[in-house]
Every structure is written in C-alpha cells, then in structure tokens.
Amino acid sequence: MGWVNLNIREKIQLTGICLFLLTLPYNREINQLFLVLFLLSSAPCINRSSWQRNKKAIFIFTAIFGIVLLSCLYDPDLTLALKKVEIKLALLLVPFIFGASYTPSNYKNDAIWIAFITGVCSALLYLLVYFIIHMRGLHLPVSQWLKQQYLNHQYSKPIDIHAGFFSCYVSLCLFALISFLFKKSDRFIRTGILLLMALCLISLFLLTSRSVLILTFGCLLCFTPFVLKRVSWYASATFGLAAAGLIYFFMTRSNYFEERFTGELNKDVKLSQLTHAVEDHSNDLKGSILKNDGTRIERWVASMELIKKRPLLGYGAGQEKPQLWKKYEELGLTVSLEQHYDSHNQFISYTITSGILGLIAFVVLLVFAFIHAFRARSFLYITFLILVTGTCLIDTFLEVNKGVFFFAFFNVFLYMTSPVSPKARPAGQEGLLVPFHRP
C-alpha cells in the first residue's frame, strides 16, 4: 500500500502528521501550529472501527487530563490552573482525535517514523556543525571541547530545547533506526542508517543526560539477545565495540563526563548520606539531606512535606511551584527557591497538584501501556515507555510542551501500531510485532 492507494483524507492526515514530527525538535510555537494542523487534518478521518478498536486505551490515556481539569475547581489561582490545562491539552486531543482516526499500515507507519527520524537527525546535524564551528571560533584545542560549559543544556541551546527531553527524542530515534536497519537489505541504505545511528550515539554523549544514557544502554543490552538472532556475530561485535569505544573516549577525554556520572549523580541524590544515615539508624534523616545545595533530593523532601498535608486532592492544577516555593522558604532551601525549581519528578508533581487521584491515573496509564507493549512484544513501545518513565522519575516531563507533545503522540501511535494478536492486525501491518523482524 503506497501513496497512490491512500484516499484524499488519509493523504492530508499523513502530511499533517509528518509536518508535525519534522518540526518536533524545533521552535515551540511553530511546532504547536503544526500540532493543530495535524489534529485538524485527522478530525475528518475519525471512523467507527478505529474508535471501537482503541476506545479503552483512549479513555485510560485521557483520564490524567480529566483529573487535571478537575483539580482546577479548587485551585486558588484560576489563571495558573488554566495555563497548566492549556499545556496538557494535547494529552486529551491527541488520543481522542488521532486514536479514533488513524488506520495503521506499513506504508503510513514507515512514513511517520521517517519524518520523525528526519526531524531529529537534522536537528542533531545542525547542533553538531554549530558546536564544531563555535569551538573552532573560540580557538580551543579539541582536547578542551568536552567541558561542562559546552555540553548538556549549552549544547542544545541553539534550538532552545531541554537537553534531557531532547535526549529522549534522540534515543527513540536511535531505536527506530535499529528497527529500520534490520528491515532493509540494500547496502547503501544500511550504510546511511549506520551513519545516522552514529550521529545519535555521539549526540547522546554530548547532551549528557544521565538518565537517558543509562536507560538507552540498558535497553540495548536487554535487546542484544534478540538482535543476535537476526544479524551475524561480527556485525553485533562491531556495533558493540563502537559503543564501547564511545564510552571509553568520553570517559577518558572529559573530566566533566566522568564527574557527571559519579560525583554529580551522588550529590544529586545524596546516596552516601542516605546510606550512612540508614546504617547508623539516624533519627535526623531529613537533617542529613537538607544542606541547601539545590539538589533534587531536597526538592523531593520538600514535596513530600506538602503531600502529607493534602494527599487526597492536592493543591490545584497550577499550584506545584507556588506551594513548593513556600515550602523551600520554610525549610531554608534558598538555592532551590532562587532557581525557581519545581519537584523534578512527574509522579510527585501529579500528587501535589491533583492528589492521590492524579498519581493513580498516571500510574494506571503507564501500567496499562507497559502490559500492552509486553503482550505485543513491541520493543519500540517498551523502549519508549522505559525512557518516559525513567525521565519522569527525575524530571517533570509532562509539564512542558516538548514533553507533552512527544508523549501524547508516540504513546498513542505506538499503542495502535503494536497489536497484541496477529488476528487484531489491520491489513498491511505484517511484521510490526517485533521491530527487529526483517520482512
């Protein structure tokens, strides 16, 4: 089934989706405009069969938005609450409109992945070229390029996107490329895919998102047995050596990279202090954590203090930051207060704003998605959920547009293209259960 076999409504919808994904890593306002166009182009395609097939998932995926909307009713600042609703609106519209209108097929699915890969890799190429030109302009030797002031958020700054969130895009792009690698037999195409995979791996190290790098390599190790069944041992060994070489290069050439994955990580969660306090049976566990150094665990302690006071309903859709800032001041956490930090944990964030109902709705969403992904043996969907869940544990991924748009679209898309039973597959969807399968 190719382009000529699509009807006019499917062509318009597919064009809208591809334009949205091509602009996903770039300017928020432009990407938001293309999201609206994508939804408008999808609305005429709504059909009974798609709705019946996906209605259970649609209700589960949109429940969290309903809870957020409900928490607006008792938010003392309605303006702040409505701003949060606006940011999260994609969590309602994408599942309802896209989930009830998209009919999967190999051709359309591949076109969507190619659009996403093109958008991400074009952004990565731009950032890499910008980085090299900038470093050469500073007349620094190559040995000085991998320093803190040039990596992480500074590296992604030219396209104005959070390094951690963008790393999720890059990691999913990497796994999508691996999927294509095992479906293509043409040597020229496979060489191009390998080059794009190398670009993704290098960029992940330059973005230096701890959680995404750890999760990415963890997923790669878990999927190795499946990969080895489909490729020759020397191809797997080559890829493994290349990845190991990158790790060795960045660990030996960049003091910042080594410090970020050892000293900074320990400082952020204060693992040594926690271990020491537990081993000594200290009664002043909170006192050993709250050192006013702006670490994540301090924000989590402050967040838990808030949750204890209003666990059932929370404080309202827009009250996470205002309530946390008051708590920071009360606990003397001036560094976190000056930086205007939120909780940096999506599970905690929903509990603060919407109480236990918000937390349950979000957990149920993830559990439902994980069960479906495992039953379908969809490694792309499993990887996506691992990346999102891991990021949500250390950041408020669904409190900004770039996180909401990414999650809302791919959660629904991967659900629809990962049927549990071969009998449930729409025509033209052969070989989608296992992305490493070569048709």
pLDDT tens-digit profile of 144-200? 888 888 888 899 999 999 999 999 999 999 999 988 887 877 888 988 998 999 999
Residues 127 and 121: their CA atoms lie apart, in Å, by 10
Residues 439 and 166: their CA atoms lie apart, in Å, by 31
The structural domain count of the chain equals: 1
Res 428: pLDDT:
43
Instruction: Summarize the confidence of residues 222-242 as an average pLDDT.
Output: 57
Report how far apart, in Å, the C-alpha atoms of 204 and of each of 118, 190, 212, 252 are.
17, 21, 8, 17
Residues 180 and 250: their CA atoms lie apart, in Å, by 27
Instruction: Summarize the confidence of residues 268-272 as an average pLDDT.
Output: 63
3-class DSSP state of 263: helix
In a domain, 160, yes or no: no
Instruction: Summarize the confidence of residues 321-346 as an average pLDDT.
Output: 91
Q: Is the dihedral of CA 380, 385, 386, 387 positive or negative?
A: positive
Q: What is the model's pTM?
A: 0.88
- Whether the pLDDT of residue 277 is over 60: the answer is no
Tokens 């994408």 — which residue? Answer: 94
- Whether the pLDDT of residue 439 is over 60: the answer is no
Report how far apart, in Å, the C-alpha atoms of 303 and of each of 238, 266, 271, 295, 314 are.
46, 20, 18, 13, 11
Residues 182 and 114: their CA atoms lie apart, in Å, by 15
In a domain, 294, yes or no: no
Residues 267 and 287: their CA atoms lie apart, in Å, by 15
Res 303: pLDDT:
93
Instruction: Summarize the confidence of residues 268-297 as an average pLDDT.
Output: 65
- Whether the pLDDT of residue 209 is over 70: the answer is yes
Residues 377 and 208: their CA atoms lie apart, in Å, by 30
Q: Tokens representing 111?
A: 């076109």
pLDDT band, residue 386 (cuts 50/70/90): very high
DSSP annotation of 26 reads S
Q: What percent of the chain has pLDDT over 90?
A: 60
In a domain, 378, yes or no: yes
In a domain, 354, yes or no: yes
In a domain, 76, yes or no: yes
In a domain, 374, yes or no: yes
Question: Which of 20-29, 134-143, 341-350, 403-412 shows the lowest per-residue confidence on average (mean pLDDT)?
Answer: 134-143
Instruction: Summarize the confidence of residues 74-88 as an average pLDDT.
Output: 93
The chain-wide mean pLDDT, for the chain, equals: 85
3-class DSSP state of 168: helix
| Chain-centre distance for alpha carbon 319 | 24
In a domain, 223, yes or no: no
Q: Tokens representing 365?
A: 């969403």
User: Residue 327: which domain range?
Assistant: 46-103+312-439
Helices (H), 208-270: 210-228, 233-253, 255-260, 263-269
In a domain, 432, yes or no: yes
